[in-house]
Amino acid sequence: MARRKRTPGTFGALEKLPSGRHRARYRGPDGRRYTAPTPFLTQRDARGWLALRQADIIKGQWMPPDAEAQPQSKLTFKTYADGWIKHRDLKDRTREHYEKLLDDHILPKFGSLPIASITADDVRAWHADLGKHNTPTLRAHCYGLLRTIMGTALSDGRIKVNPCVIRGAGSARRVHKIRPASLDEIAVIVAEMPERYRAMVLLAAWCALRFGELTELRRHDIVITEADGNDDAYGYVRVERAVVRVDDGFQITTPKSDAGIRDVAIPPHLLPVITDHLARFVEPEHDALLFPAQQGGHLAPATLYRRYYPARDAAARPDLRWHDLRHSGAVLAAATGATLAELMARLGHSTPAAAMRYQHAAQGADRRIAELLSKLATG
């Protein structure tokens, strides 16, 4: 008859069999009792086997013995990533971006590998190879996507540990150092642009609107009140939509976040320019685009840039990207003394959670910002 022996303070229990060998048993994290597959010649060997099982439990790497005995899953990374993309709730532009990152930079390395076989060394070698192309933003986006997919695989039980452990690899330092445009530079750029695009430059620079928000603005999105005996005229832009470029053309979508849906007060000194633009360059229909392409439809970035690049050169600012005008607007608004909450509400620049925190920014404060912006313009 086997004699069971359990020493207090030790992991598991040993039994000495009639043959003189030792059988090791332990209780797993799942509450079940497990027995070593074979008996051991010595008590020391049995204790060593138990110590290894205990170490796996402590490290969070323990698996039931029957699961360890099964052959490694042949689920490839490509198969899992395809399913991940398909069932993810993504905007079309984001989905297109992820698919391009996968096809061009991730799947060539990992696509055919079993997802459970990818190691941290594999990821480090791949990440180092990406660094040879001197594209830090692209490199960070690729790594961030791989880390997210592998994190989901970990949650699904497809892998035991996420191999993406390179600290800081998911972010990139800004290569282009932004220098906001001065008031004089903005004035030169506006003067050098074709008349039909001048209001667009002004709204980008003074209201800090994104390109996709500007090119989807329609007549009904501009609200201008008449001056009366008590108040001066004022106006605002209602930002509720944006447009993005996809493979098969343009797609109307929502702004980047919930906070992106907002009303942005127009600085009073711009109201005559906006009114003139509506009268001269916008069709009378309620939903007519403010800045359409000359042949109709949404304005393509390349079409605008052909006019914008010579204008910024005339202002001696060849480094000033179109999106930098939005940064200029943020700096100008901050110069009025606006609070962080007021700036975030005006720019629509926050996560959904931040939008909930800052949604109580006063509308009157935004109008005050716009009025102070006009004072900056007039010296």
Active site residue 236: no
Catalytic residue, chosen from 210, 262, 312, 346, is 210
Active site residue 308: no
Q: Please measure the distance between the N-terminal and C-terminal CA atoms of the chain and give it in whole angstroms.
A: 101
Other Cβ atoms less than 10 A from the Cβ of 246: the count is 14
Tokens of 132: 């040879």
Tokens of 266: 């127009």
Question: What phi-psi label fits residue 208: left (phi over 0), alpha (psi between -120 and 50 degrees) or beta?
Answer: left
CA 242 and chain centroid, separation:
17
Catalytic residue, chosen from 22, 262, 277, 326, is 326
CA dihedral 213, 218, 219, 224 (to 10 degrees): -20
CA dihedral 28, 12, 38, 1 (to 10 degrees): -120
Active site residue 53: no
Active site residue 277: no
Catalytic residue, chosen from 22, 198, 349, 367, is 349
Active site residue 210: yes
Q: Are 24 and 12 in contact (CB under 8 A)?
A: yes
| Enzyme catalytic residues | 210, 323, 326, 349, 358
